[in-house]
Amino acid sequence: MKYDWVLFDADETLFKFDAFKGMQLMFERMGVEYSRDDFEQYQKVNKPLWVDYQNGTITAEDIKHIRFKGYAEQFNTTTAALNTAFLDAMADICSMIPQARELLDALKGKAKLGIITNGFTELQQVRLAKMGLSDMFDHVIISEQVGVAKPDVGIFTHAMEQMGQPCKSKVLMVGDNLHSDVLGGMNFGIDTCWLNAAQQPECQEITPSYTVKCLSELQSLLLA
């Protein structure tokens, strides 16, 4: 095993993140029908916020407030209440990416495992507990708690401090996002693996150490 540490992104790397189904469930619990068109309008607000968050121009709290501001006014509630209801719904519909559990089980005991996520704190521990993974990871690094988000090298620096400063050549970052996961890891000086399940086009400026289409391919690569 080449690596002493394997660090994973969470959403769409280990866990499926179907935000539309989460929004549907949240509104269903409120007695409101929620359509795909409604979601597309929401995404016009939500998606740019995550870009701004990764760029360090807004905070996690800003996302929570701004993305639900219109709905809070419409349904006479608060953005905080809607954010919590959404994350509760996302936890309830949580499932794992194909081959993720098999990969984690195969790596356990051969390398230390960690998560570095830009997702929100409220969702992480609940989701790990629901999936029976609470004891699988040595560290779960959450951008909301650290104060900086991937691809900022600050979150990788924080992770390495928590990990006891292992040699960078012994650390691999795995993620589905070419910008936040791969570029972030590259800029920090660690090997990276791009999980390109959607078969997105490659970017000449960002060159991961490895590219795989599925996690079983990564398992074969690491444990060959």
- CATH label of the domain that carries residue 124: 3.40.50.1000
Clarify whether residues 63 and 161 are in a common domain: no
For the segment 74-133, what is each residue's pLDDT rounded down to a tens digit? 999 999 999 999 999 999 999 999 999 999 999 999 999 999 999 999 999 899 999 999
Clarify whether residues 98 and 28 are in a common domain: no
Domain count, the chain: 2
Clarify whether residues 50 and 106 are in a common domain: no
Average pLDDT over the chain, rounded to an integer: 96
What is the C-alpha separation between 72 and 81, in angstroms, rounded?
Answer: 9
Structure tokens at 117: 């996520």
Clarify whether residues 190 and 200 are in a common domain: yes
For the segment 5-58, what is each residue's pLDDT rounded down to a tens digit? 999 999 999 999 999 999 999 999 999 999 999 999 999 999 999 999 999 999
Clarify whether residues 80 and 99 are in a common domain: no
Task: Please identify, among 92, 121, 149, the residue that sits at the C-terminal boundary of a domain.
Answer: 92
Clarify whether residues 84 and 99 are in a common domain: no
Range of the domain at 26: 19-92
What is the C-alpha separation between 7 and 202, in angstroms, rounded?
Answer: 22
Residues above pLDDT 70, as percent of the chain: 100
Any residues with CB less than 8 A from the CB of 191 and at least 6 apart, and which?
Answer: 3, 169, 171, 172, 173, 185, 209, 210
Compute the average pLDDT of residues 148-165: 97
For the segment 188-204, what is each residue's pLDDT rounded down to a tens digit? 999 999 999 999 999 98
Give yes or no for residue 184 having a pLDDT over 90.
yes
Give yes or no for residue 224 having a pLDDT over 90.
no
The CATH code of the domain that includes 80 is 1.10.150.240
What is the C-alpha separation between 193 and 116, in angstroms, rounded?
Answer: 14
Task: Please identify, among 92, 121, 137, the residue that sits at the C-terminal boundary of a domain.
Answer: 92
The predicted pLDDT at position 49 comes to 97
Clarify whether residues 186 and 104 are in a common domain: yes
The pTM score is 0.93
What is the C-alpha separation between 213 and 115, in angstroms, rounded?
Answer: 20
Clarify whether residues 100 and 54 are in a common domain: no
Q: What is the largest CA-CA distance in the chain?
A: 56
Task: Please identify, among 59, 92, 125, the residue that sits at the C-terminal boundary of a domain.
Answer: 92
Enzyme catalytic residues: 9
